[in-house]
With several copies, the nearest count.
Chain A
Amino acid sequence: MSGPTKPRLMQGNEACAEGALAAGVRFFAGYPITPSTEIAEILAERLPLLGGKFIQMEDEIASMAAVIGASLAGVKAITATSGPGFSLKQENIGFAAMAEVPCVVVNVQRTGPSTGVPTAAGQGDVLQARWGTHGDHPVIALCPSCVRETFELTVTAVNLSEKYRVPVILLMDEVIAHMREKVELPSPGEIKVIDRKKPRTPPEKFVPYQPDADGVPPMANFGEGYRYHVTGLIHDKMGFPTNKGPEIAGLVTRLTGKIEQNAADIIRWEGLYLEDAEVVVVAYGCVARSAREAVKKLRREGLNVGLFRPVTLWPFPAAEIAKRASRARGLVVAELNLGQLKLEVERASQGKTGVHFVGRIDGELLTPREIIAQVKGVL
């Protein structure tokens, strides 16, 4: 079957769950937390019907651990949480990065630090998604801005995690997670599913952490005849702990290097009216919707305004931003925080143009009107 499926009303969290299933995920471990809970609830219903496994663990740390365990056993695995749980998962996210275990962590962002406002929208975990765990580590973070894209990016997240053996963060927000929208999902035939590379050598010759040219080592699943060691310690190519300087440096460099090296394959972004834009609005997630409406309105008023929407927040499309910065009269970053991605935009634009900011941190979505006002201030 091909061609999109019948249009239906679907919630963001539901699209995430469906996307995971479509990508081949057959394991979920989690701990409930608003506004991500529906993902768990839907998978609790769906997975047992598909021969998959759902488990509610005792906390988020255990959930992250179980997901890594399942992935090592060869089953694609996902977990979903929100800020407080995301903070708790950080140690084990670092483990997944270190041991190169594919997995996806959905973080449906809510408002504020700490318990904050559990049911209100926010985008305050953008930099935590990059730097939340200790030590230099790789990460990929994707940020959907509509329900259909949530489905697609969940598939992408699983695919990238398998391809690059890296934990991938799907950074959602309360607005997208809870809203229902008409969507037409791609049919199963249209969905490209990527599986981890399997070893091409017999077990005796298997060097578990010997990367291919793409920086990524093939991966053997537990129980399939390749007996090897997995550890969160810095390890040599055989997977065993080392404290030899060159091996340490080699591993840490490769872990982040495999993402940098493949940035062109990983980085995703979307532009609207960028060609002649004098002011470029940079927005992602739910805010990109307000921004799109704002930009369309401004265009209707005859103003040369465009929208740049990073879809991968990490790796950040810095080169693309630099390009816009060289051409535009100003960049306006719009986010539901105090200016987090703005810092990255400032860095990327290197003073070549003014970087302006419009944010909201009261739990509500920025309105098109607020963005328009800020853009007009710059024009």
Chain B
Amino acid sequence: MLADIEEFYRLDRLPHIWCPGCGNGIVLACLVKAIKELKYDQDKTVVVSGIGCSSRASAYLDFNTLHTTHGRALAFATGIKLAKPELNIFVITGDGDSSAIGGNHLIHAARRNIDLNVVIFNNNIYGMTGGQYSPLTPKVQKATTAPYGTIERPFDLAKLVEAAGATYVARSTAYHTRLTTELIINGAKNKGFSVTEVISQCPVSYGRRNRFNTPAAMLEWQREMAVPVIKARSMAPEELEGKIITGELYRGHAPEYVSEYTKLTQRLKEEAEGV
């Protein structure tokens, strides 16, 4: 499977550190395929990640890669993009990284509608630290810090980033590899802040504790729960309970931050010359 995309991997870093059956490798390949199809110059492409199992992904990719501090990938990426707007930036982040400690940077990047492409590897758990619940762990599910089932309500992350100002919001799963690739491509083509949430599996820190016997069972669960957004529109809320709505969930129109900045400097230049 790597053959067609191996030029984008740092092959000498493989095999990766992820556990057997972990979804990260699958989702990562989707991202790489998307970049390949986008025909982005490898030298002009940057992959920024936070901290978490998923965020380890950046080290395996042969781009300009930056593995930041926990939750802060988007803030680092904002600096890079503003400093050098010609770079194409992808941000890899986990559910915890993006929505727990990184929640503020997520909504502010969305508000600015800055041209960054975020892929959220949502395995519903803090994988790296061994299975504590995250803001995206479904209620009642178990985690090491929710031994009696979590009592917290998870975010509807897509709704949140839409409300915060993202202009492209999509969702897929590790099972739906082709869809994932397509959605990432479309997100990248959106000039603005694009978020693609990919439901992935963590068999070790989440699956085991929540009655998934094998990684394959988790992938199958993803297949079963997925409802394409078009179909979902004609379904009742109760029917959608617990389902994963996939596809392009939202597209908005708003000025992109770096372009606005460029316009400002342009305007100032013209004013200065005009005087």
Q: Using CB atoms and an 8 Å cutoff, list the residues of chain A in contact with chain B.
A: 26-27, 29, 31-34, 37, 40-41, 44-45, 48-49, 51, 53-63, 65-75, 77, 84, 91-92, 95, 114-115, 222-225, 227-233, 240-241
CA distance A156 to B146 in the complex (A): 28
A227 near B78 with CB under 8 A, answer: no
CA distance A224 to B43 in the complex (A): 7
B147 near A232 with CB under 8 A, answer: no
A227 near B79 with CB under 8 A, answer: no
CA distance A312 to B160 in the complex (A): 46
Of B67, B77, B81, B264, which is within 8 A of A231 by CB?
A: B67
Judged by a CB distance under 8 angstroms, whether B31 is at the interface is no
A70 near B80 with CB under 8 A, answer: yes
Interface of chain A, main secondary structure: mixed
User: Residues of A contacting B132 with CB < 8 Å?
Assistant: 32, 37, 40-41, 56
B51 near A115 with CB under 8 A, answer: yes
A68 near B265 with CB under 8 A, answer: no
User: Residues of B contacting A45 with CB < 8 Å?
Assistant: 147
Interface of chain B, main secondary structure: mixed
Provided the pairs A31-B100, A44-B146, A222-B46 are in contact, do residues A65 and B69 lie with their beta carbons within 8 angstroms?
A: yes
Of A27, A56, A58, A84, which is within 8 A of B79 by CB?
A: A27
B83 near A74 with CB under 8 A, answer: yes
Question: From A221, which residue of chain B is reached at the shortest CB distance?
Answer: B84
Distance to closest chain B CB from A277 (angstroms): 43
Q: Using CB atoms and an 8 Å cutoff, list the residues of chain B in contact with chain A.
A: 10, 13, 42-44, 46, 48, 51, 56, 58-59, 62-72, 75-84, 86-87, 100-101, 103-105, 108, 126, 128-130, 132-133, 135, 144-148, 261, 264-265, 268, 272
CA distance A53 to B79 in the complex (A): 9
Distance to closest chain B CB from A301 (angstroms): 44
CA distance A26 to B135 in the complex (A): 23
Provided the pairs A95-B69, A222-B46, A222-B64 are in contact, do residues A62 and B87 lie with their beta carbons within 8 angstroms?
A: no
Report, nearest first, the 10 A-B pairs whose CB atoms are least far apart. A69-B79, A66-B79, A65-B75, A70-B83, A62-B75, A231-B67, A59-B101, A69-B76, A69-B80, A73-B83
Provided the pairs A27-B79, A69-B76, A232-B68 are in contact, do residues A59 and B100 lie with their beta carbons within 8 angstroms?
A: yes
User: Residues of B contacting A231 with CB < 8 Å?
Assistant: 59, 66-67
A-B contact count (CB 8 A): 178
B78 near A62 with CB under 8 A, answer: yes
Of B58, B64, B70, B75, which is within 8 A of A84 by CB?
A: B70
B79 near A73 with CB under 8 A, answer: yes
CA distance A26 to B77 in the complex (A): 17
B69 near A91 with CB under 8 A, answer: yes
User: Residues of A contacting B72 with CB < 8 Å?
Assistant: 61-62, 65, 92
User: Residues of B contacting A55 with CB < 8 Å?
Assistant: 78-79, 82
User: Residues of B contacting A229 with CB < 8 Å?
Assistant: 10, 58-59, 65-67
Of A41, A60, A68, A115, which is within 8 A of B144 by CB?
A: A41
B84 near A227 with CB under 8 A, answer: no
* Besides A48-B148, A70-B80, A74-B83, 4 new A-B residue pairs in contact (Cβ under 8 A), listed by A number: A48-B264, A65-B72, A115-B70, A223-B84
CA distance A115 to B70 in the complex (A): 9
A selection of 26 A-B contacts at a CB cut-off of 8 Å is A27-B82, A41-B144, A41-B147, A48-B148, A48-B265, A55-B82, A56-B133, A57-B78, A58-B108, A62-B78, A66-B76, A67-B79, A68-B76, A69-B48, A69-B81, A70-B79, A72-B66, A75-B84, A77-B83, A222-B87, A227-B63, A229-B59, A229-B66, A229-B67, A230-B66, A241-B59
